[in-house]
């Protein structure tokens, strides 16, 4: 696959370990949900090396000192419904005060094209760094449409995170949104004729919420 300057694929032993369990068809809903959260936490930490810091004065038991903190109210999380909900707590483990918006997308099973049906975002979203999250980056259609929806509403700083991605999805997002950093834990082989990632892990939403 062609490399893109805005695409970052993690090669972390801990993530590889957790993804191997995530893929297993015998992994139950509770453990699956926990693994999605744990992997997201590691990815969030790694993806925020360029986070904006502001100086603050702190008084230690010995003296006053200038230290640095993430700017208040500067982070938001926007999951692509419904599977993206499974990643929210993983980001919250790092940024517990981050506001949460929601974008609802569904895939037309005949055309495989995404359709937006819901969008609710926190006030002041245009001034925040937004984590757009979805466990699976397959065709890239939903991600691209969600990114376009955020940009249309004035968001300038967006980081897209997916746990499993297909080359087709990465290429589409990188081409249509070259200004958006894309963080992926694992790059898989390809899509099948139904638009599912191989080897993948099945339907992430169904496995998260116990539906079919």
Contact yes or no for 70/52 (Cβ under 8 A): yes
Annotated catalytic residue 97: no
| Low-confidence spans in the chain with pLDDT less than 50 | none
Q: How many domains, the chain?
A: 1
* Segments forming the whole domain that contains residue 168: 7-209
Instruction: Give dist(CA 141, CA 166) in Å, integer.
Output: 12
Query: Is 195 among the domain residues?
Result: yes
Instruction: Give dist(CA 184, CA 161) in Å, integer.
Output: 6
Contact yes or no for 119/104 (Cβ under 8 A): yes
What is the predicted pLDDT for the residue at 107? Answer: 67
Query: Is 2 among the domain residues?
Result: no
What is the predicted pLDDT for the residue at 181? Answer: 96
CA count, 13 A, side-chain hemisphere, 138: 23
Annotated catalytic residue 127: no
Instruction: For residue 112, give the nearest of 45, 191, 22, 33 by alpha carbon.
Output: 191
Query: Is 112 among the domain residues?
Result: yes
Query: Is 1 among the domain residues?
Result: no
Catalytic residue, from 69, 111, 115, 153: name it: 111
Residue 135: asked if its preceding bond is cis (omega within 30°), the reply is no
- CATH number of the domain enclosing 92: 3.40.50.2020
What is the predicted pLDDT for the residue at 194? Answer: 87
What is the predicted pLDDT for the residue at 68? Answer: 95
Annotated catalytic residue 203: yes
What is the predicted pLDDT for the residue at 90? Answer: 96
Q: List Cβ neighbours of 96 (8 Å cut-off, separation of 6 or more).
A: none
User: CA angle 47-69-57, nearest 5°?
Assistant: 165
Catalytic residue, from 23, 41, 127, 203: name it: 203
Catalytic residue, from 23, 27, 127, 206: name it: 206
């Amino acid at each position: 696959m062609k490399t893109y300057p805005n695409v970052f694929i993690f090669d972390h032993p801990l993530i590889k370990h957790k993804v191997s369990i995530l893929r297993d068809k015998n992994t139950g809903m509770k453990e699956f949900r926990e693994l999605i959260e744990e992997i997201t936490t590691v990815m969030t930490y790694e993806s925020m090396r360029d986070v904006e810091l502001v100086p603050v004065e702190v008084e230690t038991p010995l003296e006053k000192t200038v230290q640095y903190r993430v700017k208040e109210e500067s982070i938001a999380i926007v999951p692509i419904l419904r599977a993206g909900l499974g990643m929210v707590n993983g980001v919250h483990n790092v940024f517990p005060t981050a506001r949460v918006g929601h974008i609802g997308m569904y895939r037309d099973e005949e055309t495989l094209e995404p359709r937006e049906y819901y969008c609710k975002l926190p006030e002041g979203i245009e001034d925040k760094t937004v984590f757009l999250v979805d466990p699976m980056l397959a065709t890239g259609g939903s991600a691209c449409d969600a990114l376009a929806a955020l940009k249309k509403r004035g968001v300038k700083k967006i980081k897209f995170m997916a746990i499993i991605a297909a080359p087709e999805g990465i290429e589409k997002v990188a081409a249509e949104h070259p200004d958006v950093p894309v963080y992926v834990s694992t790059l898989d082989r390809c899509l099948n004729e139904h638009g599912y990632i191989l080897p993948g892990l099945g339907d992430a939403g169904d496995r998260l919420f116990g539906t079919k």
